[in-house]
Amino acid sequence: MGTGGRMNDATTDKYVLKRVPTEKTPFELSDVKKAIPPHCFNRSLPTSFYYLLRDMIVCYTFYHLASNYIPLLPKPITYIAWPVYWFCQGCSFMGLHNLAHDMGHNSFSEYSWLDDVLGFVIHSSFLTPYFSFKYSHRSHHAHTNSIEYDEVATTAGAQWLFCIYGAPLLVMNGHFMFLTFLQHNHLGLAHYDSTEWDWIRGALSTVDRDYGILNKVFHDVTCAHVVHHLIPTIPHYHTVEVTKAIKPILGDYYKHDDTPVLKAFWREIKECIYVEPDEGAQRTGVYWFRR
C-alpha cells in the first residue's frame, strides 16, 4: 500500500484472514498489565452509574415515544415504525444487558455485592437468570477456545410479552447471539485441545470488530473484546484506551477485523462450520475452522 493509497480487496482479505500465531506467547499476562496506564484499572462508581442511568433513560425514552406516538401514525407507516423501534430498543437493551454482564465480572464497581444486586435486577427484567449466566460465562472466560471445556454462553431466548416490550427483548437476544458469534468466530482464530491449550492463547483467540456508532451503545464490548478476555475486571470505559496500549505487546497475537459487520457475519456462517487440525500438521492439538 503506497502513501495515500488503499489496499485492494484481495490484499485486505488476505490480511484480515491471516491466522494468529499458535506458538506459546513470548509475553505473560504480567507483561500486558505493565503496559496499561494504572488509572485504567480503576472502577469509578459515579462513572458506572452514569452509564447505567444513561441507558435506562434511553430505554425509557424509546418506550415512551413508541407507546405514545406510533399508534397515532397511519396504519401503513406503523408496519415500518414498529420494527424500527424494535431494533433501536433492542440495541438499547443490549447496552443495558452488557452493563449487567460487566457486573457479573465485578467491573462495574469495587463492591461485589452491589454488582450482584444490580446485575440480578437488570437480568431479571430481561427474563434471564443472572447468577446462572455469571457462573457459566466465567467458565467460558476460564477456558476460552478449549475444545473440551469452553462454554460460549447464550441466553435461552426471551419470551414474547407484547409488541412494546416483547419484540425488543427478542431483538436484544438476537443481538447477544449475533455479537457472541462474531467475537469468537473468525477463520484466523485457533481452537486448542488439552495437549496445546493454555489460558493466554485461548483468551487471545477472539477478535475485535468495529460496529460504528453501536460500539458506544454496546459499551465497546465489540471493538475491545480482546482486552475484555485478558482482564475482564477493567471497566468498559477504559477498554479502548487499554487496547491501544497493549497492541504493541500482543503484536500478531492481536486480531482485529474491520470487515463490514454484515459481510463478516455472512462469511463466518458460511466458513466457520466446524474445526479440525490441518491435514498432516505435526501439532494436532491446534484446530482451525472449516466448512
Amino acid residing at 193: D
Tally of domains within the chain:
2
Please report the pLDDT score of residue 220 as a whole number. 96
Q: Does a structural domain hold residue 189?
A: yes
Last residue of a domain, one of 95, 126, 153: 153
Q: Within a 10 A sphere around the Cβ of 53, how many other Cβ atoms? A: 10
Residues 146 and 177 in one domain: no
Closest CA to 233 of 96, 111, 128, 53: 111
Residues 145 and 210 in one domain: no
Whether the CA torsion 172, 178, 207, 200 is positive or negative: it is: positive
pLDDT of 175 strictly over 90: no
Domain residues for the domain of 117 are 73-153
- Per the prediction, the chain carries an average pLDDT of 88
Q: Does a structural domain hold residue 67?
A: no
How far is 81 from 75, CA to CA, in rounded Å? 10
pLDDT of 158 strictly over 50: no
Phi first, then psi: what are they for 181, rounded to 5°?
-60, -50
User: What is the grid cell recorded at 39?
Assistant: 488509572
> Please, what is the Cα angle at 218 between 30 and 181, to 5 degrees?
75
Q: Does a structural domain hold residue 267?
A: yes
- The alpha carbons of the chain give a radius of gyration, in whole angstroms, of 20
pLDDT of 46 strictly over 60: yes
Residues 247 and 147 in one domain: no
Q: Which residue has the higher pLDDT, 157 or 53?
A: 53
Please report the pLDDT score of residue 163 as a whole number. 43
Contact 152, 170 (CB under 8 A): no
Q: Does a structural domain hold residue 16?
A: no
Residues 283 and 199 in one domain: yes
Residues 199 and 257 in one domain: yes
Last residue of a domain, one of 93, 120, 153: 153
Residues 271 and 176 in one domain: yes
How far is 102 from 221, CA to CA, in rounded Å? 10
Residues 199 and 266 in one domain: yes
Please report the pLDDT score of residue 152 as a whole number. 65
User: What is the grid cell recorded at 265?
Assistant: 457475519
Please report the pLDDT score of residue 281 as a whole number. 81
Q: Does a structural domain hold residue 205?
A: yes
Q: Does a structural domain hold residue 104?
A: yes
Residues 77 and 124 in one domain: yes
Please report the pLDDT score of residue 153 as a whole number. 40
Residues 180 and 112 in one domain: no
pLDDT-based confidence at residue 9 (cuts at 50, 70, 90): very low
Residues 210 and 240 in one domain: yes
Residues 36 and 121 in one domain: no
Q: Does a structural domain hold residue 242?
A: yes
Q: Which residue has the higher pLDDT, 11 or 104?
A: 104
Please report the pLDDT score of residue 186 as a whole number. 92
What confidence tens digit (pLDDT) does each residue in 201-225 have? 999 999 999 999 999 999 999 999 9
What confidence tens digit (pLDDT) does each residue in 94-129 have? 999 999 999 999 999 999 999 999 999 999 998 889
Closest CA to 81 of 167, 154, 13: 167
Contact 221, 107 (CB under 8 A): no
Residues 105 and 199 in one domain: no
Q: Does a structural domain hold residue 31?
A: yes
pLDDT of 200 strictly over 90: yes
How far is 21 from 205, CA to CA, in rounded Å? 10
